[in-house]
Chains A and B, each alone.
Chain A
């Protein structure tokens, strides 16, 4: 059964839709958590520490966090692998282009593939920057507030982050609605509502995430 699902274009799309929705749910939680930075270093660092103790005493220290990480890595890998395989298939299915060119589809729709690649690269940088601190000069483990302020005090930190968040907004805008169609949840009466939810989600996520670097740049967060 799993084999037939994975071999089918519709099955791969289903994998993309489900993994995409898992990541989207995480992003909403992540964005809300980030906004705590506007309430000072104490609250933000306390929240960051709490993320490691969630579920105690049932869960051991950091177990819940690692569980979430494992699910997220699985979702990213499943999403990327199916996207790669579907894209390869799509390009093979239309090898010769039309001589007469005309603009096709919306910007959000056309940028799904490259937008996805940008987001993938961003995730790698983001983890190396603020989780492991590998590419973060002067990284202080256990002091996320200071680390965030450091990152957004550099021009490249701001540029990478803001570009990625704009790409995220576009990706979510087409992705959320598409996932609903892939899972068969769309209908003519529900279409407007789904498109509105997609737009609102995209806007809120982009604005919510970008608020942090903007806060640092304007000195609201320091």
Chain B
């Protein structure tokens, strides 16, 4: 395959960026999107140019490191992570636009790499449980009803890649935050911090400068893990409940 790539190049956080055009040849349809970018970078290095910086780690679709907005879609045309997107999803001779996640809470560090530490701070605000350390507890000590376990797992699938923020026209982190809150709030292990978790995580989300939800559904469409839009409804419900409960104290 021969492709024309239009890639966002930006030297550093303070520099102005722009789209640069590159031609790549000899791309196999079986390559992943990141392997295609590796091919481009090898060529760039060979010509003494600066390779395109992009985030990646496990390349198995489970770590949430890879990003990229490909032809306007977070993680590209398939519902998966960029590392699991294959070049067979494109046609020979295509022009592909590659851009970084866009949100003021995710500033560009270089080229296609953005700073997603805002997500870490949301997690630090309440995305954890308090548990004694030591050996793993006996599995039957805390029974979890099957529907609750399924609900928790569906939300626990979130890998924190930030595609929801990238896809949202308001740069909102609602889907990410709601996935984390729903995951822990439904479980008995998460019950002690149920109220403070949702209040603190939502407050931190606002603090980071993410936008609000207008329920366009773009986040859930882009999510490589299929976190449902209803997750946000669940977070709203938890937030209202916690607000009522805390105000009574």
Partners in one complex: yes
Say whether chain B's binding surface is mostly helix, strand, loop, or mixed.
mixed
Docked-complex contact A99 and B97, CB < 8 angstroms: yes
Most buried by B among A4, A90, A101: A90
- Given A102-B72, A109-B216, A178-B215, also A94-B104 (CB < 8 A): yes
CB distance from A106 to the nearest CB of B (A): 8
Q: Is B89 an interface residue (CB 8 A)?
A: no
Chain B, range 2-16, C-beta contacts under 8 Å to A: 6, 8
Docked-complex contact A181 and B236, CB < 8 angstroms: yes
- Given A94-B169, A96-B102, A191-B230, also A10-B72 (CB < 8 A): no
In the complex, which residue of chain B has the Cβ closest to the Cβ of A187? B230
Docked-complex contact B216 and A9, CB < 8 angstroms: no
Cβ contacts under 8 Å, B243 to chain A? 1, 4-5, 11
Docked-complex contact B71 and A8, CB < 8 angstroms: no
Docked-complex contact B99 and A99, CB < 8 angstroms: yes
Cβ contacts under 8 Å, A96 to chain B? 102
Q: How far is the CA of A1 from the CA of B247 in the complex (A)?
A: 6
Docked-complex contact A90 and B99, CB < 8 angstroms: no
Docked-complex contact B215 and A109, CB < 8 angstroms: yes
Cβ contacts under 8 Å, A177 to chain B? 215
Most buried by B among A104, A177, A183: A104
- What is the interface residue range for chain A against chain B? 35 or more
Q: How far is the CA of A91 from the CA of B217 in the complex (A)?
A: 17
Q: Is A86 an interface residue (CB 8 A)?
A: yes
Docked-complex contact A99 and B8, CB < 8 angstroms: yes
CB distance from A107 to the nearest CB of B (A): 12
- Given A109-B215, A182-B236, also A93-B71 (CB < 8 A): no
Docked-complex contact A89 and B97, CB < 8 angstroms: no
CB distance from A190 to the nearest CB of B (A): 10
Docked-complex contact A93 and B233, CB < 8 angstroms: no
Chain B, range 178-194, C-beta contacts under 8 Å to A: none
Cβ contacts under 8 Å, A105 to chain B? 169, 216-218
Cβ contacts under 8 Å, A178 to chain B? 214-215
Most buried by A among B8, B170, B214, B232: B214
Cβ contacts under 8 Å, B206 to chain A? 7-9
Cβ contacts under 8 Å, A98 to chain B? 69, 72, 99, 102
Q: Is A137 an interface residue (CB 8 A)?
A: no
CB distance from B42 to the nearest CB of A (A): 25
Cβ contacts under 8 Å, B240 to chain A? 10, 14, 183-184
Chain B, range 87-145, C-beta contacts under 8 Å to A: 97, 99, 102-105
Say whether chain A's binding surface is mostly helix, strand, loop, or mixed.
helix
In the complex, which residue of chain A has the Cβ closest to the Cβ of B17? A96
- Given A93-B104, A94-B103, also A100-B97 (CB < 8 A): yes
Docked-complex contact A10 and B8, CB < 8 angstroms: no
Q: Is A174 an interface residue (CB 8 A)?
A: yes
Q: Is A12 an interface residue (CB 8 A)?
A: yes
Cβ contacts under 8 Å, A89 to chain B? 170, 211-212
CB distance from A198 to the nearest CB of B (A): 11
Docked-complex contact B102 and A94, CB < 8 angstroms: yes
Cβ contacts under 8 Å, A4 to chain B? 199, 203, 243
Docked-complex contact B73 and A102, CB < 8 angstroms: yes
Chain A, range 126-179, C-beta contacts under 8 Å to B: 174, 177-178
- Given A1-B243, A183-B240, also A90-B72 (CB < 8 A): no
Docked-complex contact A93 and B99, CB < 8 angstroms: no
Q: Is B209 an interface residue (CB 8 A)?
A: yes
Docked-complex contact A90 and B104, CB < 8 angstroms: no
Cβ contacts under 8 Å, A10 to chain B? 202, 235-236, 239-240
Docked-complex contact A181 and B232, CB < 8 angstroms: yes
Chain B, range 232-249, C-beta contacts under 8 Å to A: 232-241, 243, 246-247
Q: How far is the CA of A5 from the CA of B206 in the complex (A)?
A: 12
Q: Which 5 A-B pairs have the closest CB atoms?
A: A184-B237, A93-B211, A93-B171, A90-B170, A94-B171
A9-B206, A99-B19 known; 15 new pairs, CB 8 Å cut-off, are: A1-B247, A9-B212, A12-B212, A89-B212, A90-B170, A93-B171, A96-B102, A99-B97, A102-B71, A109-B216, A112-B214, A181-B233, A184-B237, A187-B233, A188-B230
Chain A positions near chain B (C-beta within 8 angstroms): 1, 4-5, 7-14, 86, 89-102, 104-105, 109-110, 112, 174, 177-178, 180-188, 191
